[in-house]
């Protein structure tokens, strides 16, 4: 019951953990002309949810389980699973930065052994979904709620960035997000089917276009977003 409230807080773009400065590849996609309007954006979001969204949801769900029985070795192993599922170095760095900021913020909101042990086990910053799952556990969420929050933020960040960068109608973009509800549920479901600690079977969907966008973005001179 506390889990619902915590999930809302964790998924809220107003959570002060640095998420507002990440576009999930949308800024570069806008720059190269891959997103020019609502139709492109809808396809981008659907693709992102089906790939990076599912992977991040699965990692968050697994991290939420670890958070219930935290141990340094388990955090390090799960973080390594995240590492090998994020191919682009630019994305890895962005993910670790977001994870570090999220742990810092949520440790003050939900002081807990889960987050303390993660901060000690991965001191330079755990990957964002691992940090999100740990925070979800600290806040009283179930793995499914952690997965939902992770999948949800994987599409809201680029959607908001596209509104800012292209001046799209924000109501129309929210309709696009609402249309993703069934896909979001599917992603959370897929994220939670893996047996505890058998992490080699966690989803590892690749999104080469997102990888390339992330790498190009890092080399673009004029950037408003970190990623």
Partner 1 sequence: MSANHDDHHHAPDGHGRALRLGIGGPVGSGKTALVAALCRSLGPSLRLGVVTNDIYTTEDADFLRRAGVIDAERILAVQTGCCPHTAIRDDIAANIDAVETLEERFGPLDLVIVESGGDNLTATFSRGLADRQIFVLDVSGGDKVPRKGGPGVTTADLLVVNKTDLAPMVGADLTVMSRDAAKVRDGKPVLFTSIREDKGAHSVAEWVVGIVDAWHHEHAHSV
Place of tokens 């949801």: 57
Tell which residue, 34, 41, 37, has the closest CA to residue 216.
34
CA distances from 58 to 37, 38, 137, 192 (A): 30, 28, 14, 6
Q: Which of 6, 10, 11, 22 binds partner 1 (CB under 8 A)?
A: 22
Closest contact distance (angstroms) between CB of 157 and partner 1 is 9
Q: Which stretch binds partner 1 (CB under 8 A): 77-85, 100-108, 143-151, 171-179?
A: 100-108
Q: Which of 3, 9, 20, 177 binds partner 1 (CB under 8 A)?
A: 20
Instruction: Check residue 203 and give left, alpha or beta (phi > 0: left; psi -120 to 50: alpha).
Output: beta
Tell which residue, 145, 157, 143, has the closest CA to residue 202.
143
166 to 205: interface string for partner 1, x by CB under 8 A = ----------------------------------------
DSSP letter for 195, please: P
Closest contact distance (angstroms) between CB of 191 and partner 1 is 25
Q: Which stretch binds partner 1 (CB under 8 A): 77-85, 97-105, 179-187, 198-206?
A: 97-105
Interface with partner 1, residue 74, by CB under 8 A: no
Tell which residue, 83, 159, 74, has the closest CA to residue 128.
83
Q: Which stretch binds partner 1 (CB under 8 A): 53-61, 123-131, 141-149, 200-208?
A: 123-131
Contact 65, 142 (CB under 8 A): no
Cα–chain-centroid distance for residue 176? 19
Q: Which of 46, 77, 164, 189 binds partner 1 (CB under 8 A)?
A: 164
- Please give the residue ranges that form the binding site for partner 1 (CB under 8 A): 14-23, 93, 96-97, 100-101, 103-105, 119-120, 123-125, 161, 164-165, 221-226
């Amino acid at each position: 019951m506390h889990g619902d409230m915590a999930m809302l807080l964790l998924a809220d773009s107003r959570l002060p953990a640095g998420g507002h400065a990440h576009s999930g590849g949308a800024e570069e996609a806008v720059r190269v002309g891959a997103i020019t309007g609502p139709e492109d954006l809808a396809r981008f979001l659907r693709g992102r949810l089906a790939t990076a969204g599912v992977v991040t949801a699965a990692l968050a769900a697994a991290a939420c389980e670890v958070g219930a029985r935290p141990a340094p070795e388990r955090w390090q192993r799960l973080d390594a699973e995240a590492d090998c599922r994020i191919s682009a170095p630019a994305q890895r760095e962005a993910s670790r930065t977001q994870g570090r900021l999220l742990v810092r913020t949520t440790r003050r909101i939900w002081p807990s052994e889960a987050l303390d042990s993660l901060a000690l086990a991965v001191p330079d910053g755990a990957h964002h979904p691992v940090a999100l799952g740990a925070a979800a556990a600290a806040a009283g969420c179930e793995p499914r709620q952690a997965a939902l929050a992770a999948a949800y933020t994987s599409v809201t960040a680029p959607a908001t960035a596209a509104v800012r960068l292209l001046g799209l109608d924000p109501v129309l973009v929210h309709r696009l997000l609402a249309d993703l509800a069934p896909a979001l549920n599917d992603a959370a479901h897929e994220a939670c089917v893996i047996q505890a600690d058998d992490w080699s079977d966690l989803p590892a969907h690749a999104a080469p276009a997102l990888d390339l966008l992330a790498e190009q973005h890092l080399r673009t001179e004029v950037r408003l977003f970190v990623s």
